[in-house]
Structure 1
Amino acid sequence: MAGFWGRRKREQEELNTQDADLARRAQQALVAADERIRLTTDELAFADAELGPGPTNELREALASVRTHLQEAFHLHQLNHDEIPDTPEELRTRNARIVQLCEWAEDLLDDRTEALAAPIERARRAPEIIAKVRADAARLRLRLPDARSTVDRLAIRYSSHALSQIEANPAEAEQLLGFAEHSAGVAERRREAGQREQANMALEASTESVRRAETLIDAVETFEVEALRAESTLAAIVEDSRGDLVVALKEPHSPAVQTAIEELQAALAALPAAGVNTDPFEQLSRLREANAGLDAAIAAARDRAARPIPPLEHVCHAIDDADRQLAVSRDVIAGHRGWIGADARTRFAEAERVRLDLDRYLGSSAAAVTAIDEDHREQAFAMARRAAFLASEALQLAQRDIDAARPQPDQWGGPGYGQQGYGQPGWGGGRRGGGSDVMGGILGGLVIGSILDGIFD
C-alpha cells in the first residue's frame, strides 16, 4: 500500500509541476502577444506611409482579428484570478487556450508583416531604383542598333517564318524602354507629392519594362547562336537518316516500317536546296520526328520477328478449347453444387471473367473471332490459354471436393462406398466406379486437349 500511495503522490507532484509550467507559459505568451500587437500597429503606420493603404489592407485586417481574439485570452486569464475557486482541470484548459490564441496571433502577424517586407524595402530604395532604371534603359538603348543589324543579317540567311519570333524584338524593346523611362518619372513625381501607392505602382512598372526589354534584346543574340547550332545538328541528322534508310530497306518490310521509310524520305526530300532561306528549327523538328518514327517501327518489327505471331487457326483452336473446358467445369460444378468449395468456384469465376474480357477485346461476333488481325492475335491467344488453364484448375479442385465429400469405408462398416467394383452387389455398387470413369474421361480429354495445343503451338 505504501508503494501505491507513494506512486500516486509522485504522479500528482508531476502534474502540479506541469500545470505551473503551463500557467507560466500562458502569462508569458499573453504579454508577448500584447506587445506584438503594439509593435505591429507602429509597423502598419510606417507601411501605410511608405506603400499607401491598399497594399497594407491584409495586415490591417489581421491586426483587427488578432485584437478580437486576444480579448478572449485576457478574459480567460481574468477568470483564472477571480474570487471564484477553479478546479485544476479548468485552469489547465484555460491556460492551454490562452497559449493557443497567443501563438496563433503571433504567427498571423508574422505572416502578414513578412509579406510587406520586400515592398517596404523597395519603397525605401525608390530613389536608388529609379536611378538604376534610367541607367539600365540608357545602356540597353546602346544595344538596339546591334540588335537591328543582327536581324537584318539573319534575314539574308533564314526564312521570314524562322525570324517571326525575333524580327520585331528591337522595335518592341525600344517601346518598352521609353515606357520604363516615363514610368520612372511618374514614380518620382508621385513620391514627391506623397502619393506613395501610385508611386510604387509606377516604380514596379518601370522595373518590369526594363527587364522585358533586356530579354527581347538578348533573344536576338541567342537566336543567332541557336540557329547555327540547329543547322549543324540538322546536317548530322540528315547523314544519320540516310544511313538509317539504307538499313531499313534491308529489314523485313512490315506496313509500319514501309510507312516510316516513306515519311523519312519525304522529310529529306523537303529540305531546301543550298542558298535558299530556310527555317532550321522546323526542318530539324520534322526530320527528328521522322527519324524517331523509323527507329520505333524497325524496333517493333524486330520484336515481332523475335516473337512469331500465332496463326489464326491456332488462336481459334485455343478459344474453342477454352470454351470446351469452361463448359465441362460448368456442368460438373452445377451437378454437385452442395459439394463444391470456394477454391473451385473462384477459379471458375476467374476463368469466366477472362473469357468475357476476351470477347470484349475481340468483339462478341463470330466474324470478329474468325478475322483477328496480326496485332491482336498474340493477346487473344494468351487470354484464351489463360481461361482454359483456370477452367482446368477449377475442374481439378471440384473433383477434389467431390472425392472429399463422398462417404469413407468406416462410415458404412463395409468395404466402402462403391468399392465392390463396377456391377458388384452392395450399396451404390457401380456408382463410384461409374463416377470415376466419367471424371477420368473428362480429365483425360483435357490432357489430350493440352497435348494437341502443344502440337499446334
Structure 2
Amino acid sequence: MAGLWGKRRREEQAALDAQDADLARRARSSLVAVDERIRTTADELDFAVAELGEGPTKDVRDALQAVRTHLGEAFHLHQLNHDEIPDTPEELRTRNARIVQLCEWAEELLDDRTEALAADIERVRRAPEILAQVRVDIETLTERLPHARVTLDRLAQRYSAAALRQVADGPDEAEQLLTFAAHSADVSFRRREAERREEANLALETATEAVRRAAAIIDGIEDFEIEALRAESTLADVIADSRGDLVAARDAPQVPAVTAAAAALEAALAALPPSREKADPFTQLSQLREANSGLDAAIAVARERAARPIPSVAHVRHALDDADRQIAVARNVIAGHRGWIGADARTRLAEAERSRIDAEPLTTDEDTREEAMILARRAGALANEALHLAQRDIDSSRPQDSGWGGQGGGRRGGMGDAMGGILGGMVIGSLLGDFFDG
C-alpha cells in the first residue's frame, strides 16, 4: 500500500513539474512577443502621427506608455527567477503566472487601441481616392438639383404648404451643403500639400459629411412624392373603412363613449378637404386613423361591458354596507381584547378599512363601479378574516382551567372565562398603552 501511495505521489509531482515547465516557457515567449509588439506598435505610431497628427493618436501613445511600465514589472519578475537566490517552486509558479497575466493584458490593450486607429489610418492612406470621389459626388448631386426643384414645384401644385414643410427648403439646403463640401475639399487638398495632415483629414471628413447630408436631402425630395402617393392611397382605404365602422357602430351598445367616438370619426371625415383642394395626406391619414381606432376601442369596451353588466349603485351600496358591518364587528372585538390580539388580525382589519375607503369614491362613476364592488367585497372578506384571526388569538390566550373553583374543577367556560378575557384584554392593553405612552 505504501508503495502504491508513493507511486501516486511521484506521478502527481511529475505532472506538476510539467505544468510548471510549460508555464515558464509561456512566460518567456510572452515576454518576447510583447516586447516585439511594443517595437512594432511604436513604428506604426510614428507613421500614424505623421499622417493623422498628435490628437487622434493620443490613445495609442497612452497605451504604449502603460504597457512599457507594466512590462518593466514583468522583466523584473523574470530576472528574479534567474538570479542567484534559490526559489521555491511556488515562488516561481506565482511569478511566471504574473508575467503571463501582464503580457496578455498588454496584448489586449494594444489590440484594442490600434484596432480603433486602423480605420483612421486606412482612410488617410486612401485620402486622395476619397477626395476624388467627394468631387465626383459633388458634381453628380449638383446636376440633380434642378430636377429636385422641378419635383418640388410639381408637389406644391398638389399638396399644401403644411404637407411640404419638411422638404420645401431642401434644394436650397442641399445647394449650400454642396458649396461647403467643395470648399472643404479644396482646403483638404491644400493642407495635405502643405504637410498639415491633421487639418487636411478634418477638412476631408467635413466634406464627406456635407456630401452625405446633401444626398439625403435630395433623395428625400424624390422619395416624398412616392410616400405622398402611398399616403393618399392608404387614406382612401381608411375613409372607406371608417364609413363602414360608422355603420357598424349603430349596432353597438349606445353608451356615451361609443356615441362620442362615432361623432369624432364623423367630424374627422367631414374635415377632409374636397379632392380639388391642396391637402396634407400625412396629417389627414394620422387624424383619421386616430379617430377610427378610438371608435373601434369604444365599441370593444361597450360590447365587453354588455356581456358583463355593470353593477348598479344599489348593489354597490349594499356591498359597502355589508363591509361596514363586518369591519365594525371585527373592530369591536379587537378593541375589546387588545392585549390578546396579534399582528395578523390587526393587519387584516387595517387593510379592510383601507379597501373600504378606496371603494367609496368609485361608486358614482359607471366606469369605476365594478372596481368599487370588488373593493367592497374585498373589504368585507378581510374584515371577516380579521375577526377569525382575532378569535384565534383570544382562544389561544384564554386560560384552560378558569372555573369557579380554580384548578379543582367547577364550571368551565362560564363567567370566569368571560371576565378573564375582558379583563385580560383591558388590563394588558392598558399596561402596554401606558408603557409606550411613557
Q: Give the alignment of 1:236-315 within 5 angstroms.
A: 236-315=237-316
Match of 2:412 in 1: 428
Q: Which residue identity is paired with 2:117?
A: L
Deviations 1:69-111 (CA, angstroms, capped at 9, x unpaired): 1111111111222222223332222222211111111111111
Match of 2:350 in 1: 352
Count of residue correspondences: 414
Q: Percent identity at matched positions?
A: 64
Q: CA deviation at 1:142?
A: 2.0
2:258 touches 2:298 (CA, 8 Å); kept in 1?
Answer: yes
Q: Give the alignment of 1:371-386 within 5 angstroms.
A: 372-386=364-378
Q: Within 2, Cα distance between the matches of 1:257 and 1:117?
A: 64
- Structure 1 gap ranges (5+): 363-367, 419-424, 436-457
1:329 touches 1:348 (CA, 8 Å); kept in 2?
Answer: no
2:60 touches 2:114 (CA, 8 Å); kept in 1?
Answer: yes
Q: CA deviation at 1:348?
A: 5.7
Match of 1:190 in 2: 191
Match of 2:213 in 1: 212
Q: CA deviation at 1:256?
A: 2.0
- Shifted more, 258-267 versus 33-42: the winner is 258-267
- Structure 2 gap ranges (5+): 420-438
Q: Give the alignment of 1:15-164 within 5 angstroms.
A: 15-164=16-165
1:44 touches 1:59 (CA, 8 Å); kept in 2?
Answer: yes
Q: Within 2, Cα distance between the matches of 1:223 and 1:268?
A: 24
- Shifted more, 131-140 versus 219-228: the winner is 131-140
Alpha-carbon distance change, 357 to 390 in structure 1, aligned in 2, over 3 angstroms: closer
The alignment partner of 1:151 has SS state of: helix
Q: Within 2, Cα distance between the matches of 1:80 and 1:358?
A: 80
Q: CA deviation at 1:37?
A: 0.4
Q: Which residue identity is paired with 1:382?
A: I
Q: Within 1, Cα distance between the matches of 2:226 and 2:67?
A: 57
Q: Which residue identity is paired with 1:375?
A: D
Alpha-carbon distance change, 281 to 35 in structure 1, aligned in 2, over 3 angstroms: same
Q: Which residue identity is paired with 2:98?
A: R
Q: Within 1, Cα distance between the matches of 2:351 and 2:331?
A: 13
1:22 touches 1:95 (CA, 8 Å); kept in 2?
Answer: yes
The alignment partner of 2:145 has SS state of: helix
Q: Within 1, Cα distance between the matches of 2:223 and 2:171?
A: 14
Match of 1:179 in 2: 180
Alpha-carbon distance change, 359 to 183 in structure 1, aligned in 2, over 3 angstroms: same
Q: CA deviation at 1:191?
A: 1.4
Q: Which residue identity is paired with 2:326?
A: Q
2:323 touches 2:379 (CA, 8 Å); kept in 1?
Answer: yes
Q: Within 2, Cα distance between the matches of 1:12 and 1:93?
A: 17
Match of 2:428 in 1: none
Q: Within 2, Cα distance between the matches of 1:337 and 1:16?
A: 76
Match of 2:202 in 1: 201
1:352 touches 1:387 (CA, 8 Å); kept in 2?
Answer: no
Alpha-carbon distance change, 4 to 396 in structure 1, aligned in 2, over 3 angstroms: farther
Alpha-carbon distance change, 224 to 358 in structure 1, aligned in 2, over 3 angstroms: farther
2:359 touches 2:373 (CA, 8 Å); kept in 1?
Answer: no
Deviations 1:269-316 (CA, angstroms, capped at 9, x unpaired): 211112111111111111111111111111112222222111222222
Q: Which residue identity is paired with 1:187?
A: S
Q: Within 2, Cα distance between the matches of 1:92 and 1:85?
A: 13
Q: Within 2, Cα distance between the matches of 1:31 and 1:153?
A: 71
Deviations 1:361-402 (CA, angstroms, capped at 9, x unpaired): 64xxxxx47x53222221121122123223334444555676
Match of 2:169 in 1: 168
- Shifted more, 39-48 versus 10-19: the winner is 10-19
Q: CA deviation at 1:328?
A: 2.9
Match of 2:227 in 1: 226
Match of 1:365 in 2: none
2:319 touches 2:376 (CA, 8 Å); kept in 1?
Answer: yes
Q: Within 2, Cα distance between the matches of 1:210 and 1:286?
A: 36
Q: Within 2, Cα distance between the matches of 1:121 and 1:239?
A: 57
Q: Within 1, Cα distance between the matches of 2:70 and 2:186?
A: 45
Q: Within 1, Cα distance between the matches of 2:395 and 2:352?
A: 28
Match of 1:391 in 2: 383
The alignment partner of 2:39 has SS state of: helix
Q: What RMSD in Å do the two structures reach over aligned CA positions? A: 2.9
TM-score (norm 1): 0.82
Q: Within 2, Cα distance between the matches of 1:402 and 1:429?
A: 13
TM-score (norm 2): 0.85
Alpha-carbon distance change, 255 to 119 in structure 1, aligned in 2, over 3 angstroms: same
1:264 touches 1:287 (CA, 8 Å); kept in 2?
Answer: yes
- Shifted more, 372-381 versus 222-231: the winner is 372-381
Q: Which residue identity is paired with 1:428?
A: R
Q: Which residue identity is paired with 1:183?
A: S
Q: CA deviation at 1:251?
A: 2.7
- Shifted more, 261-270 versus 12-21: the winner is 12-21
2:137 touches 2:211 (CA, 8 Å); kept in 1?
Answer: yes
